[in-house]
Amino acid sequence: MTEGNYYNATFSQFIRVLGLDRHDANMPKIHNQVVLPNEEMKFMYPRNETGNAGKATGLYTYYSIIIRLLRNTISQRGGNPSDISLHAKNLLACFGPNGEDFSVADYIWEEIKYISENPLKICAYVPYLMELIEKAAKTKYQTDVKHESFRPKMPMHRREPSPHRYSEPEDDMDIEEEEGGQHTPQQQQPSPGV
């Protein structure tokens, strides 16, 4: 309701307001999935950071940038920025090596619904709601602030998985044990003609 008038919008109209096509409604729904356990997020972290699984710290650079982009677009949230919350874990996993397509509109719709049912949560989806209200009411409201585009900062040190991170188990690496119990990689033989 705005200015004493009631308005409504269908989910299809909501999809169009977001600038998505009609196929988005038929994509898998992230909120219909079981929340990804922290243990299944370990592939997003270097081996020495897997204890941070479920946290925004220690991620490989790629996932660190993705989570920042998502938090400023479709997975907005207030509260503790160091945690990756509930279905945001599944959302982030969609950008991994075995990631699947998902319905963007349904993700936003379900997050807005969740926030409306939990009054202690901050509704960070106001820009989406205002766009929907303006379309339904056929009115353009004045805004006090012009929002700038978001550009996540690139970290000075990049953390990237090795090329075989997802294909070779850690135990299969060629390692031989020296005296004193230290491990060193096998030395490569020089190739002929070098």
Reading the chain (194 residues) residue by residue, the pLDDT tens digits are 777 888 888 888 889 888 899 899 999 999 999 999 999 999 999 999 999 999 999 999 999 999 988 988 888 866 677 889 889 999 999 999 889 999 999 999 998 888 888 876 667 788 888 888 888 888 888 878 776 776 767 677 777 776 655 544 444 444 444 444 444 444 444 444 44
The Cα-based distances of 128 to 18, 83, 111, 169 in angstroms read 7, 24, 12, 44
DSSP 66: H
- Do 66 and 95 meet the contact criterion of CB atoms below 8 Å apart? yes
Please name every residue paired with 176 in a beta bridge, in sequence order, or none if there are none: 184
- Cα atoms found within 13 Å of the Cα of residue 74, Cβ hemisphere only: 19
pTM for this prediction: 0.71
